[in-house]
Structure 1
Amino acid sequence: MSRTKQLTDYLKARYAILVIESFEEERALNEIAEIARTLGHRLYVWNSTLGVQTNGAVAGDKTFDLKMALDFCEEKAKEESSKNIFVFCDAHSYLGSSSNPVYRRRLRDLAINIRSRGYRSNCVIVAPSFEIANDLQKEVTLVDFPLPSRDEVKVQINSFVNSWKGNSSVRIDLPNDTHEKLIDAALGLTGLEIDNSLSRSLVSSLSINESTVKDLLSEKKQIIRKTGILEYIDSKVNLDDVGGLATLKKWLHLRSQCFGQAAQEFGVGTPKGLLLTGVPGCGKSLTAKCVSSSWNMPLLRLDMGKIFQGVVGSSESNIRSALRTAEAISPCILWIDEIEKGLSGSSTGTSDGGTASRVFGTLLTWMQEKTTPVFVFATANNINSLPPEFLRKGRFDEIFFVDFPSTQERKKILEIHLKKLKRDPEKFDLERLSALGGEANFGKDIVLSGAEIEAWVGESLIEAFSRRMSGSTDTSDLSMADFETTISRLVPMSKMRKDEFTKLRDWANQNAISASAMVAGQLDTETPIGGRQIDF
């Protein structure tokens, strides 16, 4: 059922008090006005500065106070053959549980009289948020008023573009694929925010093209900054900056096209998300940032610590607010890093009065039932801390396990970091360096993680710089000798936590897919990579 049809049915059925929660007051009023014209109802609109108005003119004297406005509306409702819709725009500040109860009592009286005396009238409250006090719970009906749909966004963008097509100073370059990207980028914005973004883009470049998509994404960034719970991550890296993880990369590539209109028309469901678990420092967080750039979608980081901060009772509200914001920004990627730390108390609920359990339940229900294109990218180091129901099918599309890098993956990681330092990888013996970072140097089951390889490269660069600055006759650039010197100072994490990672790998062999693929050149003597080997 469409939004307009639902609202029309409520009004025709003479529901006494309807509440529309929306920041788009102007858009809501326009839709109500159109329905009023269709039904032949007179429309009265009240706000605290203008009082009651109809057709843009003041309808009643001294109606700035809500109680006086309700008195006026009841007098109009009493008129024979009178059919009315009374809209109240600032009433939410008068009707909360801590406000003067006289206003709630007067509104209830009007609602009772609409039902008992047969007034052909309705009251509609339009507010950005509305606290339903106990004495109004049975009187009020909440009406969904979502942000503009894809079709509505398309009409608005087309209308804006067409209004400038005849202007010779404006360049419009919107092939079909860019036009679809523009519509996708505008989803989750209000009509006003879309107009503002398009206008700003037009003013800055006198054009509407691919760069306009970035302007719309920038507008979404503003929305996220206002929440204080979600963080917008500007990602400058892509999947080529991740060494290895070939299976995971292929899986992500297959789903990169599943968010567009063509996928929906073909019947492809929107991807739900994935859980990336494994040893720390092996690229889980980096991969989340890379997916955002590769898919050209906003990346929102949900800080579970901020969910639980604030006054008692605010945690549940915080998680609902964060999820609503993510849905408003969609299509997007919701990154929940080290999720086990935020949900560690959800199994017992003994230490926090059950707050973590309620937050966890809200998150689980949303993940299962969400229909908006929000791709959940969750990472976890300690999978045993997560409740079992979080891991079942339906929450995530897949669970991947990231293990320590293989010989070939270490070579690729070294190559990436050397290029970042503007050094030519061809001048280094990558086979030798890979071996130094693996079992050939440290012993069985002991290898460097991706983060440790990055630190090793950084330490080696400092070693080379220190040598040059010390007055030594050797002023050569970063060399193999520097790597061989600094490797002896490293104590790999795989050595310190060997038993822990062995158990984690055993779990992955039964329950997760390996993010890495076995490739030619893999040494038989290497420790097998954790997780099931599957080729997508």
Structure 2
Amino acid sequence: MSFINEFNLLLKARYSLIFIPTVEEDRLEYTIRRCVKLGKNRAIYSWNFVDGFLNTPNNNGTGKKNPLQALEFIEKLADDTPVLFLLKDFHKFFNDIAVIRKLRNLSRILQTQPKTIVIVAPENVTIPLEIRELVTILDFDLPTIEEIRDELKRLLGILDQSISNKDLIILIRACQGLSLDRIRRVLSKIIADNGIINSEGVSRILEEKQQIINQTQILEFCTSDTTINDIGGLENLKRWLRQRSDSLSEQAQNYGLPVPRGLLLVGIQGTGKSLTAKSIANDWKLPLLRLDFGRLFAGIVGESESRVREMIRITEALAPCVLWIDEIDKSFQQSELKGDSGTTSRVLATFISWLSEKTSPVFVVATANNFQLLPLELIRKGRFDEIFFVDLPTLNEREKIFTVLLNQLRPGQINKFNISLLAQESDTFSGAEISQSITEGMFYAFNENREFTTQDILRGLKDIIPLAQIEKQKIKDLQVWVESGRIRPASVRI
């Protein structure tokens, strides 16, 4: 049910105390006035601590810097006057016993009168226990796609500018998760910078989202210029991702496609799992949020559970986005080793439940080095759309990796290197180890004041002991899962 329909239903049912958690006071007041016009015709009196009541015929300023007097004004108003009282800043007085007692008394009186008190407060405000049973919480979501589209078209009309439908969709998707005030501010910044509104302003919008993330200590906003084409190999995984590149779009929703949940990448370290997570966000033009599970755990009892709920709230508010959880297996290892009275287990259980139940466009990319530590409830179907095994690169993939890396370091000079020989000599090397061998070769040549060559890279390969030689059993265990059909190979094996 939409906010307008739900709100009008509460007014019709004479709910006396409604609590709406939001920071968008102006947009909420505008929406409430629309609600009143659609439903019963009521007067709307708003109150804030500095100005007191506003919009009243003869009582402007009543209750200025006096919340108790504001409640007394509500009580004394004529019984048959249909009024909605919008109280701002009121949560600051939830620790005042006189205010709380007055609210409890008023809630009984207003049930027989056409009056409703709406308290507006930020989302992290806790309702006092004394009035919790009397208050109805009504969520006021961030601007919808339609609201964002209307705001963009309004500004485009003012600028007398037109943009393609494709660019409009890109901008709408980038603006999702921002309040209307933030959208207006960032669009003003784009206009000041470019003179027009276009899809090139997406980077400015992502910067605005970064400001929101920086205000928390739970998530990290990541930026990357890595694309899928910068990753050598992994053709099966790349094909799967390309098929879902527009899966978070409005067209996909209208088509009836379910919102993708995400994917789990497993394999030993250095095989490109984290690089893939970064490239997905960049290719899909979505903000990338990195979650460190260690930040969710706090020393105060109950705070860890509240932090995971806060993480979910922030992530969904910034949707559509990519949520990257690096080395998720370490969190489950801590769960087994810690004697924390079940806190870790409860936090992980909350997260796993959210994975299977979420409907918001949050694409989760989790990586794991030790697949054996992951519980079955995490890897069963319904948590992630797919699980991919990122194996050691094949001969063909090693050639692509060397080609990509050397092209980045020495553009246009790839013919100076024997890529075929390097790929043959780097068997059992991961992508990260191949990159390190090139770095080692560059050091050799740099110290001799010359350009590095194929022979320098071969020397670098000899100096590195591949991790695969140590992690042979892990790789074999994962290959068994692939053969069973439970995990898909990320690479095309020849």
The partner residue of 1:134 within 111, 121, 129 is 129
Q: How does 1:58-137 map to 2 (within 5 A)?
A: 58-59=59-60, 61-76=62-77, 79-95=78-94, 99-115=95-111, 118-129=112-123, 130-137=125-132
1:4 counterpart = 2:14: no
User: When the two structures are superposed, what TM-score results if normalisation uses the length of structure 1?
Assistant: 0.88
**Equivalence for 2:138:** 143
Per the alignment, do residues 341 and 109 of structure 1 end up closer, same or farther by CA in structure 2, a change over 3 Å counting?
same
- Residue by residue over 1:294-318, the C-alpha shift from the partner in whole angstroms, topping out at 9 and shown as x without a partner, is 1111111111111114644222222
1:466 counterpart = 2:447: yes
- Is the contact between residue 44 and residue 86 of structure 1 (CA under 8 Å) also seen in structure 2? yes
- Residue by residue over 1:383-409, the C-alpha shift from the partner in whole angstroms, topping out at 9 and shown as x without a partner, is 121221111111110000011111111
Q: Return the offset for 1:60.
A: 5.5
**Equivalence for 1:169:** none
Query: Which sits farther off after the overlay, 222-231 or 274-283?
Result: 222-231
In structure 1, C-alpha distance between the alignment counterparts of 2:2 and 2:224, rounded to whole Å: 37
In structure 1, C-alpha distance between the alignment counterparts of 2:20 and 2:174, rounded to whole Å: 25
In structure 2, C-alpha distance between the alignment counterparts of 1:154 and 1:318, rounded to whole Å: 33
**Equivalence for 1:532:** none
- Residue by residue over 1:60-100, the C-alpha shift from the partner in whole angstroms, topping out at 9 and shown as x without a partner, is 64542211211111111xx24211212211111211xxx13
In structure 1, C-alpha distance between the alignment counterparts of 2:363 and 2:57, rounded to whole Å: 45
Per the alignment, do residues 343 and 414 of structure 1 end up closer, same or farther by CA in structure 2, a change over 3 Å counting?
same
- Is the contact between residue 22 and residue 126 of structure 1 (CA under 8 Å) also seen in structure 2? yes
Query: Which sits farther off after the overlay, 231-240 or 356-365?
Result: 356-365
Q: Return the offset for 1:507.
A: 3.2
In structure 1, C-alpha distance between the alignment counterparts of 2:421 and 2:142, rounded to whole Å: 57
**Equivalence for 2:489:** 514
1:485 counterpart = 2:459: yes
Query: Larger radius of gyration, structure 1 or 2?
Result: 1
Counterpart residue type for residue 266 of structure 2: T
**Equivalence for 1:441:** none
Matched-pair identity in %: 37
User: What SS class does the counterpart of residue 375 from structure 1 fall into?
Assistant: strand
- Residue by residue over 1:346-374, the C-alpha shift from the partner in whole angstroms, topping out at 9 and shown as x without a partner, is 4x696112111221122122211211111
- Residue by residue over 1:188-209, the C-alpha shift from the partner in whole angstroms, topping out at 9 and shown as x without a partner, is 1111111111111111221112
Per the alignment, do residues 224 and 57 of structure 1 end up closer, same or farther by CA in structure 2, a change over 3 Å counting?
farther
**Equivalence for 1:21:** 21
Per the alignment, do residues 463 and 138 of structure 1 end up closer, same or farther by CA in structure 2, a change over 3 Å counting?
same
User: What SS class does the counterpart of residue 343 from structure 1 fall into?
Assistant: helix
**Equivalence for 2:361:** 373
Per the alignment, do residues 81 and 483 of structure 1 end up closer, same or farther by CA in structure 2, a change over 3 Å counting?
closer
Counterpart residue type for residue 180 of structure 1: I
In structure 1, C-alpha distance between the alignment counterparts of 2:461 and 2:154, rounded to whole Å: 63
User: What SS class does the counterpart of residue 207 from structure 1 fall into?
Assistant: coil
Per the alignment, do residues 328 and 56 of structure 1 end up closer, same or farther by CA in structure 2, a change over 3 Å counting?
farther
Per the alignment, do residues 57 and 392 of structure 1 end up closer, same or farther by CA in structure 2, a change over 3 Å counting?
farther
In structure 2, C-alpha distance between the alignment counterparts of 1:203 and 1:58, rounded to whole Å: 42
In structure 1, C-alpha distance between the alignment counterparts of 2:171 and 2:457, rounded to whole Å: 48
In structure 2, C-alpha distance between the alignment counterparts of 1:235 and 1:478, rounded to whole Å: 28
User: What SS class does the counterpart of residue 388 from structure 2 fall into?
Assistant: strand
- Is the contact between residue 413 and residue 450 of structure 1 (CA under 8 Å) also seen in structure 2? yes
- Is the contact between residue 370 and residue 474 of structure 2 (CA under 8 Å) also seen in structure 1? no
User: What SS class does the counterpart of residue 18 from structure 2 fall into?
Assistant: strand
User: What SS class does the counterpart of residue 166 from structure 2 fall into?
Assistant: helix
The partner residue of 1:255 within 244, 253, 258 is 244
- Is the contact between residue 243 and residue 416 of structure 1 (CA under 8 Å) also seen in structure 2? yes
Q: How does 1:180-195 map to 2 (within 5 A)?
A: 180-195=169-184
Per the alignment, do residues 73 and 451 of structure 1 end up closer, same or farther by CA in structure 2, a change over 3 Å counting?
same
User: When the two structures are superposed, what TM-score results if normalisation uses the length of structure 2?
Assistant: 0.95
In structure 2, C-alpha distance between the alignment counterparts of 1:260 and 1:224, rounded to whole Å: 23
- Is the contact between residue 285 and residue 379 of structure 1 (CA under 8 Å) also seen in structure 2? yes
Q: How does 1:214-225 map to 2 (within 5 A)?
A: 214-225=203-214
In structure 2, C-alpha distance between the alignment counterparts of 1:149 and 1:56, rounded to whole Å: 34
**Equivalence for 1:448:** 429
Number of matched residues? 490
Consecutive unaligned residues of structure 2, counting only runs of 5 or more, are none
The partner residue of 1:226 within 215, 221, 226 is 215
> RMSD value over aligned CA atoms?
1.8
The partner residue of 1:417 within 405, 430, 433 is 405
Q: Return the offset for 1:232.
A: 1.3
The partner residue of 1:314 within 303, 309, 312 is 303
In structure 2, C-alpha distance between the alignment counterparts of 1:80 and 1:448, rounded to whole Å: 80
Counterpart residue type for residue 234 of structure 1: T
1:302 counterpart = 2:291: yes
1:162 counterpart = 2:157: yes
- Is the contact between residue 60 and residue 72 of structure 1 (CA under 8 Å) also seen in structure 2? no
Query: Which sits farther off after the overlay, 303-312 or 106-115?
Result: 303-312
Q: Return the offset for 1:245.
A: 0.3
User: What SS class does the counterpart of residue 227 from structure 1 fall into?
Assistant: coil
Counterpart residue type for residue 9 of structure 1: L
- Is the contact between residue 229 and residue 307 of structure 1 (CA under 8 Å) also seen in structure 2? yes
Counterpart residue type for residue 471 of structure 2: R
Q: How does 1:342-381 map to 2 (within 5 A)?
A: 342-346=331-335, 351-381=339-369
Counterpart residue type for residue 488 of structure 1: K
**Equivalence for 1:42:** 43
1:33 counterpart = 2:33: yes
Consecutive unaligned residues of structure 1, counting only runs of 5 or more, are 166-171, 439-446, 469-474, 523-536
Q: Return the offset for 1:345.
A: 4.3
- Is the contact between residue 178 and residue 209 of structure 1 (CA under 8 Å) also seen in structure 2? yes
